Amino acid sequence: MAAIFGWDTTRTLIMGVLNVTPDSFSDGGNFLDVNTAVQHAREMARAGADIIDIGGESTRPGATPVSAEEELRRVLPVVERLRDLVVSVDTTKSVVAEQALAAGARIVNDISALRFDPRMVDVVRDMGAGVVLMHMQGAPQTMQQSPRYDDVVAEVRSFLAERIALAVSQGLKKSQIAVDPGIGFGKTVEHNLQLLARLGEFGSLGCPVVVGTSRKSFLGKVLAATGARHASGADARLWGTAATVAWAVAQGARVVRVHDVAEMLDVVRMVEAIRQAR
Ligand code: HH2
């Protein structure tokens, strides 16, 4: 049986998104209050989320960076109240990761793949946490200005292979690591589509693949270009998300990071049922 962050499962795991930020692109401002955030996390868990991914800094293109103090102020009180759930902390700062892990989080979701903070690898190793290594070209402030690749799939794949090797050379076990192609992080619509189309090529990295397409802007752009009925509304992002989640699971994604947990759970379980019948 294949392992994800050290736990044995053949199921695809659902990572429910909880942004305790004022400015995240889809749920910004909704969960700044601790009680509201905790309640939403519990609703996602009841709806079927295996992991609750808590972020205190928006990574949307052009977002304002926040200090470690502010990120901790947003994230810690929520993590502390969810000790009974599996929590990942979406951060690039080692001090935030360290304190969140001490407060009960079990996974670090690092969109910089351990690059932005040299101490992050030590924290993950010393605290025995799981870690998601995600690809991003550039930094959130500038990443969408003119993303460029010769072969996006080959370049993202070789970046992730290097980051896995670095992490292992610093003492992490491969079983602690998952990888993520970073949909929307320094990528055009076409780059995102190519990464999804060839997602199966990431399987040979030997780590579970995480995919986050949920409600991202490329969905609306693709649908608008086809003249689809819901192209510019929230529905486009929901049904577009469903299509990409189904595709990603069929191509071997082991974890899907989503906002709409109940809906995407149905999508994931349906794809798994079809796969089992094969
Ligand atoms: N996407 C976002 C944030 N963190 N982490 C991983 N591993 N993969 C992703 O695709 C990913 C991520 C962006 O989405 P969201 O958290 O909804 O928005 P914001 O960054 O504005 O808070």
Q: Which domain holds residue 274?
A: 212-278
Q: Identify the burial level of 186 via C-beta atoms within 10 angstroms of its C-beta, where 0-12 means exposed, 13-18 middle and 19 or more buried.
A: buried
Reply yes or no on whether 93 is catalytic.
no
With respect to residue 29, please indicate whether it lies within any of the assigned structural domains.
no
Residue 1: pLDDT above 60? no
Q: pTM, whole model, 2 decimals?
A: 0.96
Residue nearest to atom 3 of ligand 1 (CA): 59
Tell me how far the alpha carbon of residue 103 lies from the centroid of ligand 1, in angstroms.
Answer: 22
What pLDDT, on the 0 to 100 scale, is given for residue 142?
Answer: 83
In this structure, is residue 36 part of a structural domain? no
pLDDT cut 70: percent of the chain above it? 99
pLDDT at 236 over 80: no
Number of separate domains in the chain: 1
Q: Is residue 65 part of a domain?
A: no
166 residue type, one letter: L
CA of 59 to the centre of ligand 1 (A): 6
User: Which residue has its alpha carbon closest to ligand 1 atom 2?
Assistant: 59
Closest C-alpha to 50, from 268, 270, 231: 268
Give residues with Cβ within 8 angstroms of 65, minimum separation 6. Answer: 57, 140, 141
Which CA distances in Å does 180 have to 19, 184, 195, 255?
A: 19, 11, 10, 9
Q: Clarify whether 221 is annotated catalytic.
A: no
pLDDT in tens, 88-108: 999 999 999 999 999 999 999
In a domain, 191, yes or no: no
The CA 264 to ligand 1 mean position distance, Å, reads 16
- Nearest CA residue ID for atom 11, ligand 1: 212
pLDDT digits (tens, 9 = 90+) for 154-212: 999 999 999 999 999 999 999 999 999 999 999 999 999 999 999 999 999 999 999 99
Of ligand 1's listed atoms, the one at least distance from the Cα of 182 is: 10
Lowest-confidence segment of 22-26, 85-89, 141-145, 230-234 by average pLDDT = 230-234
3-state secondary structure of 163: helix
Average pLDDT over residues 100-129: 98
In this prediction, residue 209 carries a pLDDT of 98
Q: Average per-residue pLDDT in the chain? A: 94
Distance 212 CA to ligand 1 centre (A): 7
In a domain, 244, yes or no: yes
Measured from the Cα of 132, ligand 1's closest atom is: 7
Residue 72 included in any domain? no
Q: Write down the pLDDT at residue 228.
A: 80
Closest-CA residue, ligand 1 atom 10, reads 212
Beta bridge partners of 52: 16, 87
Does any domain span residue 19? no
Q: Is residue 176 part of a domain?
A: no
Among candidate residues 216, 229, 269, 278, the one labeled active-site is 216
